[in-house]
């Protein structure tokens, strides 16, 4: 696994650091899935079973609201995550959402979305690929 990561654009008011990133392997799989399904999004809940895994859906398929926090936006065409969107979709970014309740628990961590072999939830678009997304977290060393 390479150490190259794509950082999300900052979305939380008052913050100047990215809270979430994608490994190079995750970017590669997401580009493939984007070509198959169109624009995508992530949602990280705190529920049981697959609730601890990030779920990838076609954009808008999972409805977000006041009970969710937008942690970042990814430009899958950029090398640094600073832009917005993909060349094939008119600039729509891939958004990473988390339930507000889960964010209270994980607010002190930086999240990196990675890919491993194996089947996750049937609801997440990568399941038929024989792969699943997972979160690798590290404690942040700055005040939150």
Q: How does the average pLDDT of the chain come out, rounded? A: 85
pLDDT range class, residue 87, cuts 50, 70, 90: very low
Rg (CA), the chain: 14
* Contact partners, residue 106, CB within 8 Å, separation at least 6: 98, 137
What is the signed CA dihedral for 22, 23, 26, 30, rounded to 10 degrees? 50
User: Using one digit for the tens of pLDDT, what is the confidence trace for 44-79?
Assistant: 987 655 447 899 999 999 999 999 999 999 999 865
Q: Classify 8 as helix, strand or coil.
A: coil
All structural domains of the chain with their residue ranges: 5-139
Tokens of 98: 């988390």
What's the pLDDT tens digit per position in 127-142? Answer: 899 999 999 999 987 6
Architecture of domain 5-139: Sandwich (2.60)
pLDDT over 90, % of the chain: 69
**pLDDT at residue 77, as a whole number:** 83
Bridge-based pairing of strands 20-23 and 5-7 is: antiparallel
Question: What does the pLDDT look like over 24-33, one tens digit per residue?
Answer: 999 999 999 9
pTM: predicted TM-score of the whole model, two decimal places: 0.85
The pLDDT of residue 2: 47
Asked whether residue 1 carries a pLDDT value surpassing 70, the answer given is no
Structure tokens given for 83: 């832009």
Alpha carbons 104 and 100: distance in angstroms, whole number: 6
pLDDT grade for 143, boundaries at 50, 70 and 90: low
Task: State the residue for tokens 């002190």.
Answer: 108
């Amino acid at each position: 696994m390479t150490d190259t990561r794509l950082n999300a654009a900052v979305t939380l008011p008052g913050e100047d650091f990215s809270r979430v990133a994608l490994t190079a392997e995750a970017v590669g799989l997401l580009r493939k899935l984007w070509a198959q399904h169109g624009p995508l999004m992530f949602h990280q809940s705190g529920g049981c079973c697959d609730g601890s895994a990030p779920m990838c859906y076609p954009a808008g398929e999972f409805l977000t609201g006041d009970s969710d926090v937008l942690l970042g936006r990814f430009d899958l065409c950029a090398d640094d995550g600073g832009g917005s969107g993909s060349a094939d979709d008119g600039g729509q970014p891939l958004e990473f959402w988390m339930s507000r309740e889960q964010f209270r628990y994980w607010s002190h961590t930086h999240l990196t979305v990675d890919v491993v072999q194996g089947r996750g939830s049937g609801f997440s678009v990568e399941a038929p690929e024989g792969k699943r997304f997972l979160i690798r977290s590290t404690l942040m060393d700055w005040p939150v």
